[in-house]
Structure formats: C-alpha cells, structure tokens
Amino acid sequence: MRAGCSEQEISQPLSPLHRRSFLKASAAMAAMAFSGAGGLSGIAHADALTKAQRDKLSPDEILELMKKGNKRFYSGKQEPRNILAQQRASAKSQYPAAMLLTCIDSRAPAETILDLRIGDIFNSRVAGNVENPDILGSMEFAFKLAGAKVILVMGHTACGAIKGAIDNAELGNLTGSLAKIKPAVAATSYTGERTSKNYSFVDAVARKNVEITMAAIRKDSPVLAAMESDGAIKIAGAMYDLGTGVVDFFAG
Ligand SMILES: [Zn+2]
C-alpha cells in the first residue's frame, strides 16, 4: 500500500479526472500486453508460461533464464509488465518451471530479483532457507506432480537468521529453527573472527548453509534424489547480494 493512502481514500469512487488517467493507463498496459514481454520465458509471447513452453525447457535452460532475469533486475532493465494480464492468463492453470527455497527476508523477493512473472515459479520462504518435511512435501508435489524442473536454494548476504544461529539466539520456536542452521556454522572453514559482527563470516556461513540444504534435500527426499539422478530435475544453489542486487549462481 502507498504510504499515507488510507483505506477510505482507496474506496472513494474515481473522480472524472482520475478515471480518465486510469483509462489511459489501462490502454497503455493493454498495448504492452501485445509486446510479448515475458519474465522467465523471454521466449514466450504470452502473459503466463504454458505447459508446452515449460515442458520444452531443460533444467539448464530454466537456470539460464533466471540468470538473465536477474541481470535485467540489477541493471534496471526489467521487462515491461501487465500484472493483471498475467493474473488472468494464469488463473485457470499453472505450469511453473522451478521451485525456489529462499529466506523470509523482506529484501529478497525471488520473483522481483529474478524478474519473473506470476506463475513462473513456486516459492517457499522460511528463515534461513532450510528444508523440513513440509517443504519437502511441497517440493515433491511441485516436481513429481506439477512438472517443475529446477530447485533453486537461494541464501542471501547479511542474513539475520544466520546471524542468530551464530549468536545462539533463543526465542520460542525460533530456537528450533536456528538449530537447523547451526551445522552450517560449524562446517564453515574460516580463518578470522567467527562472529555475527563479521559480515564476511556471516556470508560464508550463509553459503555453506545453502550447500548443506541442497545435500539435505537429496538425503531426505528419495523421490527428488531419484528425479535428479534421472536428469529430470536439477537441484541448484545461489547467493543473493543485498548490496548489489546480483544473484551468484553456484557452479555445477
Ligand atoms: Zn535471511
């Protein structure tokens, strides 16, 4: 919601002047809908990914499209969007190409930083982007039943959950959540100050945490591990830099 815009203001009927500018804006948006602008696809002349388009893409091609989307984001060249056309085009069915496992951090919204459309990806967000049985169940739905092809585990710099795990923070259910990150703290080889005040250490732990989560997905979900061995899906990792907007996709 816009700052300073009360609910009352929003519910007021549009004045004739406002109505005219709204109609003009709608016409401009409708014109953009014919431009074939597309997020993940970049090859599609549609407002939502179709089954045929998704099924044609290989896991590597999907990763490549996400890399291109992030490049558009951090260079300020996002695709023009008609969000309402995307909503309407995807309302009756969805054919997402990937599932992202990302942190809840408000500054790391995957769809925005990868310049994606409504319907392009499933997105699971949890503090510290760790896996658990509920997330694995969602992944097994997304890949075995819904046909997605890439799992991207994405951590980010200056992550509060990682700092909390390093500091042994304790608070209600959060204590248990942070316990899932602690193996990454112990497994990070780092010479220097191993505290939450040292951002270089925090980011090294976040990276290790992504690697550990990727391995845990393979270990805890034989369904997904088998699909990866068959080449049907790919489990990939990445780190998002809050400062630069760049997503560093891990090699391999
Ligand atoms: Zn975080």
Dist. CA 35 → ligand 1 center (Å): 36
**Residue 3: its pLDDT value, please?**
41
Q: So what's the pLDDT on residue 42?
A: 55
157 neighbors 206 (Cβ within 8 angstroms) = yes
Low-confidence ranges of the chain (pLDDT < 50): 1-38, 41, 43-45
pLDDT score of 19: 43
What pLDDT is stored for residue 81 in this prediction?
86
Degrees to nearest 5, angle at CA 140 with 136 and 145: 160
Q: What is the pLDDT of residue 25?
A: 42
Give me ligand 1 centre to Cα 107, in Å: 9
DSSP state of 44: -
Residue ranges near ligand 1 (ion) with Cβ within 5 Å: 103, 105, 159, 161
Tell me the per-residue pLDDT of 180-196, one tens digit each, with 9 for 90 and over. Answer: 999 999 999 999 999 99
Q: What's the pLDDT at 195? A: 98
Work out whether the CA dihedral 245, 207, 132, 218 comes out positive or negative: positive
pLDDT at 47: 87
